[in-house]
Amino acid sequence: MKMMECQVAEVAGQACDPVLYCNARTPCRCRAAALSTDQGLTFESPSSCKKLCEPPHGCQGSVVSFTPTPGLLEADDVEEPDTPAHEMTCLLNTGNAASTLHRSTMSWLLYSHPMDKRKQGNLSIYLNRSPLNEAKWGHPWLLYEGPCSSLDLPV
């Protein structure tokens, strides 16, 4: 699979070394992802991520990892897996006590990209609360409706 314009984010695990998550543009109308467990010396074969679609001719995407706040962790424990990110933003910085959750990763991923499948438009953010599982990308949260290009997410 041909990959180009990639970005890498480090996914912190609870019981293992960090995993590098590489997200890349492809000519196949969906993004590709590959993981590295040896600090980027090698990456596994890339897989197609059907939930992250590309407009024709593709577009740069941006991915960052972050450690969720205790309030987000508690919401994740009780909410449906596909809850859109914008429905959980009210929990940011709530000061709730940390819950004891057994998770495969301690990091979540945010991905920004135009979500229109026909043209570069409708800039959106996607959330993945289980970054090692491509099927766990949630529904996009629309940031800007209309023509757009890419958005780099700062850390």
Model confidence, pTM: 0.76
Q: Exposure pattern of 114-148 as b/e (b: 16+ CB <10 Å)?
A: bbbeeebbbbbbbbbbbbbebebbbbbbeeeeeeb
> Which pLDDT score is estimated for 141?
93
Exposed/middle/buried for 108, CB within 10 Å: 0-12, 13-18, 19+? buried
Three-point CA angle 113, 114, 119, nearest 5°:
145
| pLDDT for residue 22 | 96
Q: What is the pLDDT along the chain (155 residues), one digit of tens a residue?
A: 788 889 999 998 766 789 999 999 988 889 999 999 999 999 999 999 989 988 877 788 899 999 988 877 666 654 444 444 343 332 223 333 333 333 456 899 999 988 887 888 888 999 999 998 989 999 999 998 998 877 778 76
What residue ranges do the domains of the chain occupy?
Answer: 4-95+104-147
pLDDT at 76: 63
Amino acid 86: pLDDT: 40
Give, as one character, the DSSP assignment of residue 82.
T
Q: Out of 3.40.50.2000, 3.30.1490.190, 2.60.120.650, 2.120.10.10, which CATH number does the structure's domain 4-95+104-147 have?
A: 2.120.10.10
DSSP string covering 84-108: -GGGTGGGTT--PPPP----SBS-E
